[in-house]
Structure formats: structure tokens, C-alpha cells
Chains A and B, each alone.
Chain A
Amino acid sequence: MSFAADKLGGGTPGARGGVTGQDGVKVWTIRLALIAVFVAAWKAAGATGFLNPVFIGSPEGTLREFLRQLGNPAVIGLDLGYTVTETLFGFLLGSASGMLAAVILFRAPAARQAVAPLVVAFNSLPRIALAPLFVLWFGLGIAGKVALIVSLVFFVMLTTTLAGLTQPNRDYEYLARSLGASRRQHILYFIVPAAVPTIVAGLELSLTYSFLGAVAGEIVGGSHGIGVRLTAYANAFEINKFMALLLLLVLVSTATVQLMRHFTARLTRWHATEQGDGL
């Protein structure tokens, strides 16, 4: 698993707080300019005939559909509800079990060594390939998507939590021993706090993966959900509706990630400071 996406996504949560005044204006100017360039290129590609608007839709058409979509919440509300429910269930189940497994493996080094290659093997398996199997086992409802998300998130959290807990620090170890810390105190005061930023980064990644798992699962086979609706729009060449729904999905998932950041920022503020982002 790579953290590259996370880095692009704004880095450590505390980093936002450091951007103020003049810098804030600059950052937002660049941000809006990038979006404007993208929209202009999209419009130009369709208008000049470089790309066929039948396949790529148009910015104004997408905006129109997006507003219509908001004006008529009952239509997409059900599908969005399904997707969000799957995402949250899968995320909670997968991350809780992944962290629990990591703690168990952390406490049992022999077991850790035994399962390490198996974890690598399973983690390198493209989990989407399991989606048809989950449809077969759990049907077209929520359970199959939750299973797919758990298969993704469990390993993300297992590897990140374990990496966080086992990062070696000889200084802390000597300090803990020389202070006479018990094994319990060593874990509580030294190992767990040091692991928190890694675990939080893992959780953020997992939440993004949960949305991915939910939508991908619905596309492979589902009765309701954003993925089902996206497939239907694409098949009907309703590209503007497709884009509008995609935009809504992006907004919802971004808002969810930001909400989580809001709650975890306090836990990792020291880490952001340590990285030179300022408080």
C-alpha cells in the first residue's frame, strides 16, 4: 500500500492549520486555478471536436444535472444511502478487526513471523477480483460490499498498525528500561503514542478505500447504490448524469475524510509539528 495519495491529499492533518493569511489566499488561488484549467480543457475538448461530447459530456451539462440531482433528493437518496451504509459498515468492521489482529500479532512475534508472507501474498491480490465471489456468497445486497471492503481495509490497517507498533526506537527502549517502566507502561507510554500518526494515516487511507470498495462492489453486481446507478448511466450514454453523480460521490467522500481529520487532528498535532509544519 502506498501513502502517496495521502500525501497529495494535504499531508498530515495539522498542516492545514499552518496555512494562514497571505499563504491561504495563495493556496486557494492555485487550487481554484487548477480546477478552472481542468474545466476549460474539458469544455475545449468537446467544443473543438477533439473529443466527442457524447462520450465526455460537458461542464455545463454536468452542472445542470448536478443541480437537478440536488433538487430531487429522493431519486439518488436511496442509492447514496446504500453506498454510504456499506462504506461505513465495511470501514468500521475492517479497521477494527485489522487493528485487533495487528495488536495480537504485535504481542506474538512468532505468529507475526509465521503469517508475514501470507499477509503479503493476500495483500498483493487485487481484491476487486473477489467481488463476483462475494456476490455469489452474499447476494446483491449490502453484505457482499461490506465483505469486499473488509477484505481491503483489514490488510491496510493490519500492516499500518503493525508498522506503527513495531517501529524500532532504541532511545525510547533504553529510556523506558532505565526508568523502570513495566511492559504495560512501555506499551502505553512509549509504543502506542509513537504509533498513533501511522495508524491515523492508515485509517484515512482505509476510509478512501472503503468508498472505492463499495462502488466497485456495486458495479460488479448490486441491487442499489451509486455504482449501480453509474453503470446504468454509462450504458445509456448519460455522461452528464454520470459526471454529476461522480461529483456528488467525490464531495461526500471528501467531506467524510475531512470529518475524520477533524476528529483525529488533535491526536497527531505533535507529529505535524515534528515534521516542520508548525502548530
Chain B
Amino acid sequence: MSLPAVVAEGVRLTVPNAPDILAGIDLTIADGEFVAIVGPSGCGKTTFLNMVAGLQHFTAGRLIVAGAPPQAGRRETAYALARDALLPWRDALGNVELALQVRGVAREERRQRAAEALGKVGLADALDRHPAQLSQGMRQRVALARTFVTEPRLLILDEPFAALDAQTRIRMQELLLALLRQFSGTMIMVTHDIAEAIMLADRVVVFSNRPAVVSAAYEVKLGSRKRKASEMRGDPEFSRLFEQIWQDIERGFAT
């Protein structure tokens, strides 16, 4: 039994002269587990994710990521921001390369790996296009390639498809599902899309309204990771879970 990927015990964030943001998050994520966090908007989901990524401090509690306090820029961690954050002056290849360049990978190797990663997201013929010449969906694909190219052990995704239209989002979810099938590490993602959470995660964690605590958690028992997104939506278990999580979040708004 390996170490849990993430252990959070009473993680709090209080700010002077304002209501608390996190009231105490308790959450353990096993190594290799896929967890999705959902909750009312503005409840502190992204804030918690930023803490796991080491980008944001917390005021009380204990947070252990891969056996150590969280720290930004760890080699085995990859963080995909809500907006694609592509650098407009670099072409698609250059943007994916960036993640390897920062780690000091030699030019030849990083170009080859970046090109492979872009091939996996279906952009093999758009390597030299700049972000302004790419559609939103393609930009998000580049961002995904940049996230996966470093072969991370911990994948942190913050609303990866929030900026996309409904149809593109579904196609991107299918793509991510396919990428995740070849991924043996841990994934933690924040989303406001309940269906997306059920589709991509082994476990869905519900955050309460601000100040946030973990108000519920559901194992997704839908034929493990072999599932197909299109079949899943027809599953009665899918609808049952969706309804339940919906109610949980609604209750969060009521209190």
C-alpha cells in the first residue's frame, strides 16, 4: 500500500475582516485515484486546489501532498489552469515545449516529446499555429498536451473545460477520458459540471457553501475506467448520482 497522494486534515483559510473561506477540509486521496470536487460557485474549490498545487497558503490544518508539504513547481505535479494560459507568442509546439524547457530538457528531446503529446490530443498538423489561430477547443487541447507532456504523477485540473461550448466540452471530456486511460497517476479536478465529475472521477467530493467543508462524497460505480462517456449518460446509476449531488449542492445554497 503506497502513501496517499493527498492528505488534508482540517485545512482552513481565514482572512482578516472577512468571512472564512475554508472552514476545515478533511480529504484523503489515494495514490492513483481520480477525484472530482464539485460545489456551489465561489465556495473555495479552486482555492483548495491551489493549496494542493502549492500556489496558495492556508492558515490552519495539515496538508500533505505525496508525502511532503505542498510546493509549487514539483516535477511530478502538473497543474492545468481554468483558462488555457497559453503564451500567445509561442506556437502550439512551443507552448507544450515550455513545460519541458523549464525543467531543462534538451531541445531535440523536448521538441520530439512535445510533438508526440500534441499528436495524442489530435493536433499533429497544428504544431506551428499560434494560439490566436486556434479555436477554443484546440487551445484547450494544447493546454492538455502541455499538462501531460511532463508525465506527471499528480494531475491537478481546475475547471479544464469551463470556457468551452457544450458540444466541444463533451468531445474534450471524451479526449481526457482516453488520455486518463493511459495514466496511472493521481488526478484531482475541480468542476462545476456534475456530469463531468461523474464521468471522469472514481470519487466525487462535494464542498459546502462558503466557508467550505466536505459535505458529501460518492464513489462512482460505473464499470471503472473502461467506461465510455456516451454509454454512461444512459446508465440509471448515473442519473441517480447526478440527482443526489445536485440535491447536495442545492442544500448548500439554502443554508
A residues neighboring B (CB under 8 Å): 171-172, 174-181, 185, 189-190, 193-194, 196, 270-271, 273-274, 276, 279
Contact = CB atoms under 8 A, between A and B. Distances in A.
B205 interface: no
A274 B88 CA distance: 7
Contacts of B54: 177-178
Given A180-B74, A273-B88, 5 more contacts: A178-B156, A179-B73, A179-B103, A189-B87, A270-B132
A177 B54 CA distance: 9
B101 interface: yes
Interface centre among A178, A180, A194, A276 (most CB of B within 10 A): A178
B73 to A, nearest CB: 3
B73 A178 contact: yes
A264 to B, nearest CB: 13
A15 to B, nearest CB: 14
Contacts of A271: 88-89
Given A270-B130, A273-B133, A172 B102 contact: no
Contacts of B81: 171, 174-175, 178
Nearest to A272: B132
Given A190-B87, A193-B87, A274-B88, A178 B133 contact: no
Contacts of A276: 132
A177 B78 CA distance: 11
A251 to B, nearest CB: 33
Nearest to B80: A178
A68 to B, nearest CB: 49
A273 B132 contact: yes
A171 B72 CA distance: 14
B77 interface: yes
Contacts of B89: 193-194, 196, 270-271
A177 B55 contact: yes
Nearest to B73: A180
Contacts of B77: 178
B75 interface: yes
Given A174-B81, A174-B85, A196-B89, A180 B103 contact: yes
B99 A179 contact: yes
A180 B102 contact: yes
Given A189-B102, A279-B133, A270 B83 contact: no
B11 interface: no
Interface string B79-104: 10101010111100000001101110
A231 B161 CA distance: 66
A194 B90 CA distance: 11
A271 B72 CA distance: 30
Q: List the 10 closest pairs (A to B, CB-CB), nearest first.
A: A180-B73, A178-B79, A171-B85, A270-B89, A177-B72, A273-B132, A179-B102, A175-B85, A193-B89, A274-B132
Contacts of A196: 89
Contacts of B37: none
A185 B132 contact: no
Contacts of B25: none
A189 to B, nearest CB: 7
Contact of A171 (B73, B83, B98, B103): B83
B145 to A, nearest CB: 14
A176 B83 CA distance: 14
Contacts of A273: 88, 130, 132-133
Given A178-B55, A193-B89, A185 B102 contact: yes
A59 to B, nearest CB: 44
Nearest to B91: A270
27 contacts: A171-B81, A171-B83, A171-B85, A172-B87, A174-B50, A174-B79, A174-B81, A174-B85, A175-B81, A175-B85, A177-B54, A177-B55, A179-B103, A180-B72, A180-B74, A180-B75, A180-B102, A181-B102, A185-B102, A189-B101, A189-B102, A190-B87, A193-B87, A270-B130, A270-B132, A273-B130, A274-B131
B51 to A, nearest CB: 12
A1 B22 CA distance: 46
